[in-house]
Copies of this chain bind each other. A is one copy, B any other.
């Protein structure tokens, strides 16, 4: 049975690939696993059938014989654990790849998401302009550390892994901000991730839903 994921019926980003289903699509494309997509409206996301799958009323979810899970990190890890291509076989390298999954989602993404809070959610508050530089500097602290660790390497730890998939996905949120360009090796790393055929297929699949050709 093919797995089924959920995605926005109409993504808030209009198809820029920032909705989290893109990360799951990318993982499925990397391992060559076909999948079905069930689109969910904003209203349906807050109703019982979807809340039974996802208690926080978000997308994506993932269903497959006997498995029903949420949280993008858990879904990508599940795909990586059950199909070849996203985790190395060596125990030490595998543990490091999983470390980068958590580093992407827990260390790098939170200050990046705070930029959306600062600019959009609190964008019309009286403190919006004065607070923004603080938020940007917290992002720069993490990007500088990541840039040092990556150095001139192609991927974070040898071969491409689920850790890179999530780190590139998280950094892609910064494209519009210009912040990524302050760290040329990180910009190159993200471009390298985006160039992967599996990423292109995932991006095109979400774009076809969110910005259909006229």
User: Interface of A with B (CB < 8 Å)?
Assistant: 51, 55-57, 66-74, 77-78, 91-92, 95-96, 98-99, 101-103, 105-107, 109-110, 113-114, 117, 122, 125-127, 130-131, 134, 142, 145-146, 148-149
Contact = CB atoms under 8 A, between A and B. Distances in A.
Contact of A102 (B105, B134, B145): B105
Contacts of A101: 74
A56 B145 contact: yes
Given A69-B96, A106-B71, A131-B127, A145 B78 contact: no
Contact of A74 (B91, B98, B148): B98
B106 A106 contact: yes
14 contacts: A57-B145, A66-B91, A67-B91, A67-B92, A69-B96, A69-B98, A73-B106, A78-B98, A105-B106, A110-B113, A122-B134, A125-B130, A125-B131, A127-B130
A107 B92 CA distance: 28
Nearest to A58: B107
A95 B69 CA distance: 7
Contacts of A131: 122, 125, 127
A130 B130 CA distance: 14
A98 B102 CA distance: 12
Contacts of A77: 98, 102
Contact of A92 (B66, B71, B92, B110): B66
Given A55-B145, A127-B131, A131-B127, A73 B102 contact: yes
A105 B103 CA distance: 11
Nearest to A57: B145
Contacts of A57: 145
A103 B106 CA distance: 11
Nearest to A128: B127
A55 B148 contact: yes
A101 B146 CA distance: 24
A95 B113 contact: no
A99 B127 contact: no
A48 to B, nearest CB: 10
